[in-house]
Structure 1
Amino acid sequence: MSLETVRWAVNLPLPGLSLREHRRIVTALPDLGYRDVWTGEGGGLDAFTPLAAAAAWQPRLGLGTGVVPVLTRGPGVLAQTAVALADLAGADGVGGEGRVMLGIGTSVPTHVSALNGVPFDRPVARLRDTLRFLTRALRGEPVDTEYETFAVRGFQIPATGVKVVLGALRPRMVRLALEEGDGFVTNLLTAADLSRVLAEAGPVQEGKEVVAKVFVCPTRDLAYARRAGRAFLGWILNQPPYRAFHDWLGRGDVLARSRELFDAGDRRAAGLALPDDLVDALWLSGPAPELRERIAEFAREGVTSVLIYVAPTPELLSGRDSLASVLSELRPAPRTSLT
């Protein structure tokens, strides 16, 4: 892949805007050089409503979820929602292949249990079973099967071109995503970490998706950026999947003090204990034009999409910086300006 062939994507919702105010920016995204919009799901908005709105506002955009938890929706509801989104986006059948990507994942106990009252029970097995169900169901095959973690009886929906990708960090999950699914979404890693993940996974077959999510804080106020980065990273890096991931990356010792403080109930101190260089590597900050080259490092061999999450900044929230201009400046490849 290269800057010319990688798909550039933006994560919704965008900073400083209510969902109903997204239309002007979403409509302009293709002219700013972005081909897709993605959502996640934890706190805040659900994953599918912003994508349905985007499909109605701008039919030129691809749509993706990165990711929705498999434990908070039944497998049939996930499939039905994907079919509805594909229909709305005009992505039904073979002609719409890849127009909609349904990203699913285990999520973390806080989002599954604390927010939804659902036990965080056998998440990896549930993810594997959901992947196997969805890949059959979204091809239009009838499903009447007992899986290890659930059973589906008498289910069939129309065939769609929806791809199913996994939220994946370590090699075992990445290999499952590439062998049985349509690819994977990964995040909270450096460009060098991404190379290691891809090397462990082996060659990526043609047609498989590799989506790298990059967190950026485009501000000239670097003290603000670090505070915001620590607040986010001090929580997320201490969730079980990310602890295991960064242990695998060899950062267990570096993160030991943060983990100790987090486990003692002091989330703020856990963020403050993170080394500056790690915060700066996982939470890219600086003026938007200066971030372009760092974002471009993620467009490496095997990567099909780079997904940019834009954090709120004082400039964006005050209106001193135009969100459209910032998005244009962040995208590494040639682009046109919003008029």
Structure 2
Amino acid sequence: MQLSETEKVVTAYSVLLPFLPRRPEQVLPYAALVQWTRAQRLWQGQALYVEPHQGFAYAAGAGFRVPVGLGVTLMPLRHPYEAALQARSLAMATGQPVIAGFGPGAKQFQRGLLGASYTSPLTAAREYLTVIRRLLDGDIQSAREGEYFGCGAELAAFPAPRVDIGLGVLRPGMARLAGEIADVAITWLTPASYLRETVVPALREGAEAAGRPVPRLTAIVPLALNRPGHTAAEVALASNAAHIRAPHYIDMLRRSGVDVAGDDPLTHAAALIKGGAFLSGDLLDIAAQLADYRVAGVDEVVLNVTGVCNVSGPQAAMEELKTLLAELA
């Protein structure tokens, strides 16, 4: 099935690694996919097996030097100096620009690593990203201390491809903060209507308050083509079972009109589809739904076929990505 040029409407398509790699060589086929297709970037969320920076550096060493995005790594895992150093090191290893996305993570994760959760995740994120930006820019004011983070050291200057700083965004407060200080706002499981009506206006509000351009918007979008043997709700649940149990995702989904009340996970997964948080259908259906992301103001859509990988395996996920990229990108 071929799409018309008017149906290929999103500015850029990228690829999410659809599983948590346990060996670095598992990253290579997806890096190769980005290198050999029109996909713009390879993305990975936080992983606690093969750490994303190291997996991407391994791929670069194997010859696949592609643009990458970290969407998102979790702030409690590393000091902002280490975060800036790792992100720039990755840019130097790949020879490509890097989007280094960060987020505070769930409160339980914060308590597990730090002993206590951030009283104000917004303040913590503001301080964290501010220190990283100053370090990467060589700003001598990077020694300023905050409530959660500060840094009295400088990052040794050295030429490297640009590192853009991203902030994980689910709700209006974090979106306004991204508008103030981030290069890229990164969303996950957010319906296009919610981006248009809530996230993008908050991004603009924050940017206007700071007197700066509105940051780019990257949406990591879970989706699947119709497939025999599995209902769309089963694939959606396989993709997002953890997210629909997390309080911050539940709150975002309810704000967006997705009914995740009750205790039945499969019912919740069906609600994701009905509410536009998980896209399904044939190629034309998905193209039409992705067009809504462009209208909402999204600059980059990251194709997330984790559900396909979980129900049908990595080979099926790879074939799905190839099909989508061939027709959409």
TM-score (structure 1 length as normaliser): 0.78
Give the match for residue 128 of structure 2.
130
Please say if residues 244 and 268 of structure 2, whose CA atoms lie closer than 8 Å, have aligned partners that are also in contact. Answer: no
- 1:102 aligned residue: 100
- Tell me the SS of whatever aligns to 2:15: strand
With over 3 angstroms needed to count, the CA separation of the structure-2 counterparts of 1:117 and 1:291, relative to structure 1, is same
Give the match's secondary structure for 2:297: coil
Residue 321 of structure 2 is aligned to residue 327 of structure 1: yes
Aligned position for 2:243: 236
In the alignment, does 2:279 pair up with 1:272? no
CA distance, structure 2, for counterparts of residue 180 and residue 16 of structure 1: 31
- Distance (Å, rounded) in 2 between the aligned partners of 1:46 and 1:118: 22
State the distance in 1 between where 2:255 and 2:310 align: 35
Distance in 1, matches of 2:321 and 2:267, equals 31
* Counterpart for residue 204 of structure 2: 202
Is the CA contact 1:69–1:104 (under 8 Å) kept in the aligned structure 2?
yes
- The alpha-carbon deviation at position 85 of structure 1 amounts to 0.7
- 2:312 corresponds to 1:310: no
* Aligned position for 1:141: 139
- Quote the offset at 1:88 in angstroms: 0.9
Aligned amino acid, residue 87 of structure 1: M
Per the TM alignment, residue 101 of structure 1 is displaced from its structure 2 partner at its CA by: 0.8
Aligned counterparts of 2:178 and 2:326: Cα–Cα separation in 1: 28
The residue aligned with 1:282 is: 277
Q: Which amino acid aligns with 1:198?
A: V
Alpha-carbon distance, 1:146 to partner: 0.9
User: 2: distance between equivalents of 1:314 and 1:139?
Assistant: 41
Could you say which residue in structure 2 is the equivalent of 1:89?
Answer: 94
| Deviation (angstroms), 1:174 | 1.1
1:151 maps to 150
In structure 2, the CA distance between the partners of 1:332 and 1:167, relative to structure 1 (3 Å rule), is farther
Local SS of the residue matching 2:190? coil
The answer to which structure has the higher helix fraction is 2
The aligned residue for residue 262 of structure 1 is none
**2:189 maps to 1:185:** no
Coordinate RMSD, CA, aligned = 3.2
Deviation at 1:130, TM superposition (A): 0.3
Aligned length: 310
Q: Which shows bigger deviation, 231-240 or 78-87?
A: 231-240
Measured at CA, do residues 33 and 133 of structure 1 come closer, stay the same or move farther in structure 2, by a change above 3 Å?
same
Structure 2 counterpart of 1:176: 177
The structure-2 alpha-carbon separation of the partners of 1:14 and 1:234, relative to structure 1 and needing over 3 Å to count, comes to closer
Whether the aligned pair in 2 keeps the contact of 1:316 and 1:322 (CA below 8 Å) is: yes
Hey, what's the Cα distance between the residues in 2 that align with 1:166 and 1:184? 5
Question: Structure 1: how far apart are the matches of 2:232 and 2:50?
Answer: 23
Q: Percent identity, please.
A: 22
Aligned to 2:3: none
TM-score by length of 2: 0.80
Residue deviations 1:21-49 (CA, integer Å, cap 9, x gap): 44244223243220101111155542212
SS in 1 for 2:100: strand
- Determine the structure 1 residue equivalent to 2:286: 291
C-alpha separation in 1, matches of 2:134 and 2:87: 13
Structure 1 stretches of 5 or more lacking a match?
92-98, 259-268
SS at match of 1:331: helix
Alpha-carbon distance in 2 for matches of 1:81, 1:218: 36
SS in 2 for 1:295: helix
